[in-house]
Chains A and B, each alone.
Chain A
Amino acid sequence: GENVEQHPSTLSVQEGDSAVIKCTYSDSASNYFPWYKQELGKRPQLIIDIRSNVGEKKDQRIAVTLNKTAKHFSLHITETQPEDSAVYFCAASKSPGGYNKLIFGAGTRLAVHP
């Protein structure tokens, strides 16, 4: 079945450094790749997403890159701040319509130290 692998499981950086989280997916039909930030006991919060018709997307300090050939996508956070500390999940689904199930990676616990 569909599978999304995410690495690393934990990531510790100094404030101001960059953080990179990587994911690979198994289903070549996947073409929607969101990234979520989740705080303890809360719902996942969408921070950025990318669809298969683009290779990169950026929103201020956050960027996502996609390599469909390698079935690989990554989250890049620059100039990290303590408030970026949280658990981050990548996910993948087929589209169109969003009526396809969303499969999550295992998560990365990011700690940003002042």
Chain B
Amino acid sequence: GAVVSQHPSRVICKSGTSVKIECRSLDFQATTMFWYRQFPKQSLMLMATSNEGSKATYEQGVEKDKFLINHASLTLSTLTVTSAHPEDSSFYICSAPDRGLDYGYTFGSGTRLTVV
């Protein structure tokens, strides 16, 4: 089936720095990418929806200037956590609609971000 490759799988950064997470659709064109955040023992919370060539749509309560999303091509969407703080430590995961699943969803492998 379709594959979304997500990198890095783990990252540790210092407070105040920025971290970029990439999601690439390997064998299909992902015109839409959903970005989720998952805190320990909690559910996947949708942060934003990115669409190729246009501005991302953010969910209520998600800071646009802190979580920068770029979807510059049909195969790459990125999430940049700017000025990271320890409370941003979480599991971030992307997802794209997958025609191979009859328009279900395929997920990246996730990124464990730790801010120290």
Q: Which of the candidate stretches A14-22, A63-71, A92-100 sits at the interface with the other chain?
A: A92-100
**Residue-wise interface mask of A (79-114) relative to B, using a CB-CB cutoff of 8 A (1 in contact, 0 not):** 000000000010000011111011111110000000
Interface centre among B99, B105, B107 (most CB of A within 10 A): B105
Residues in B neighbouring A102, C-beta threshold 8 A: 34, 46, 95, 105
- Asked if B97 and A41 sit within 8 Å, CB to CB, the answer is no
- Asked if B95 and A46 sit within 8 Å, CB to CB, the answer is no
Residues from 16 to 52 in A contacting B, C-beta threshold 8 Å:
32, 34, 41-44, 46, 49
Distance in Å: Cβ of B113 to nearest Cβ of chain A: 13
Question: Chain B at the A interface: mostly helix, strand, loop or mixed?
Answer: strand
- Cα distance, A97 to B104, chains bound together (Å): 8
- Asked if A98 and B42 sit within 8 Å, CB to CB, the answer is no
- Asked if A99 and B46 sit within 8 Å, CB to CB, the answer is no
Distance in Å: Cβ of B1 to nearest Cβ of chain A: 10
A107-B42 CB under 8 A given contacts A44-B107, A98-B98, A98-B105? yes
- Asked if A98 and B110 sit within 8 Å, CB to CB, the answer is no
Nearest CB in chain A to that of B91: its residue: A41
* Partner of B103 from A44, A46, A97 at Cβ < 8 Å: A97
- Cα distance, A101 to B33, chains bound together (Å): 9
- Asked if A103 and B46 sit within 8 Å, CB to CB, the answer is yes
- Cα distance, A96 to B97, chains bound together (Å): 11
- Cα distance, A98 to B105, chains bound together (Å): 7
- Cα distance, A98 to B98, chains bound together (Å): 7
**Residue-wise interface mask of B (14-43) relative to A, using a CB-CB cutoff of 8 A (1 in contact, 0 not):** 000000000000000001101010000011
B interface residues with partner A (beta carbon < 8 Å): 31-32, 34, 36, 42-46, 49, 60, 91, 93, 95, 97-99, 101, 103-105, 107-110, 112
A interface residues with partner B (beta carbon < 8 Å): 1, 32, 34, 41-44, 46, 49, 89, 95-99, 101-107
